[in-house]
Structure 1
Amino acid sequence: MVQAFNPPELWSPFGAFSMAVIQGDGHIVHLKGQISLDRSGQVVGHNDMRAQTRQVLENIRDVLAAMGGQMIDVISLVHYATDIDAFMGTGDIRKEFFTAPFPVTTTVQVERLYRPELMIEIAAIAEIPRERFRHPASDTP
């Protein structure tokens, strides 16, 4: 059984998705692909890959924190970038959020995301240790 979770600290989902899905007894957490929206749903960093990457990673950090997780718990990332060269220039930003051992990653270039001003979407899977995990109250049926 899985449980959907949408932390109130982030923008509200507007479609058929959740910010995170908790699998099993709460150790494995699958995060929805995050984009560079702030809490009010406004795009951060129009056409700025560096600003968007930072906001996306902050969103991932905040979803995890709402369940007791940390960035060190991330085990896998999938990056969807509209400009692979611009994304490759964000390594220093990613290193602000991740330390060794780094999560496994897949990076693909896509023609566009659901809004043309968005340049990056990152999906993550994390394993939060049982002693830190806080099971959120479900806000989704």
Structure 2
Amino acid sequence: MKKTRVISPAVAEAPPGLWSNCLMVGSMAYLSGLTSRAPDGKAVLGSNEYEQAKITFQKMKDLITAAGGVMDDIVQMTIFVTDIKQNREVWAARKEFFTGDYPACALVEVSSLASPEVLVEIQSTAHIGCSAKA
């Protein structure tokens, strides 16, 4: 099987040599840890966990759509937060993007992410075409 990079015009790519936001191998899509960074790569959008999670889930949706899938094709997620007490904010945003059987998921508190204003980062794996909505 061949590895293919998936891009979306709605999601800024990292500079060459750092990482890919989404790679496909067969029907599997692997999404890097995504955050609510603006397209300029510098500014962080959203001032709280709910807003940042919602922006990040939208980026995931844009990439999964570009890969030919739907959000319910995501089978696994790891969500990193800097304040575990704000988990309900992250779950509220997640409910806006998933239905039916939610992905297998871990929520992990970390001491910091890429910069102090980044509160949420989400990494995921999808099996394109596996959901009833595909």
TM-score, L = length of structure 2: 0.87
Cα shift at 1:105: 0.1
Provide the secondary structure at the position in 2 that maps to 1:97. Answer: coil
Provide the secondary structure at the position in 1 that maps to 2:96. Answer: helix
Partner of residue 56, structure 1: 56
1:21 aligns with 2:23: yes
Taking the aligned partners of 2:40 and 2:18, their CA distance within structure 1 comes to: 19
Contact 2:73–2:128, Cα closer than 8 Å, also in 1:
yes
CA RMSD, 1 decimal: 2.0
The number of residues matched between the two structures is 129
TM-score, L = length of structure 1: 0.83
Taking the aligned partners of 1:110 and 1:33, their CA distance within structure 2 comes to: 13
Partner of residue 2, structure 1: 3
Partner of residue 44, structure 1: 45
Per-residue CA deviations over 1:18-58 (Å, capped at 9, x if unaligned) read: 0111113xx10000111012333331113x11110100100
Contact 2:50–2:92, Cα closer than 8 Å, also in 1:
no
Provide the secondary structure at the position in 2 that maps to 1:63. Answer: helix
Contact 2:7–2:66, Cα closer than 8 Å, also in 1:
no
Contact 2:77–2:104, Cα closer than 8 Å, also in 1:
yes
Cα shift at 1:129: 1.9
Structure 2 gaps, min length 5: none
Partner of residue 73, structure 2: 73
Code of the aligned partner of 2:97:
F
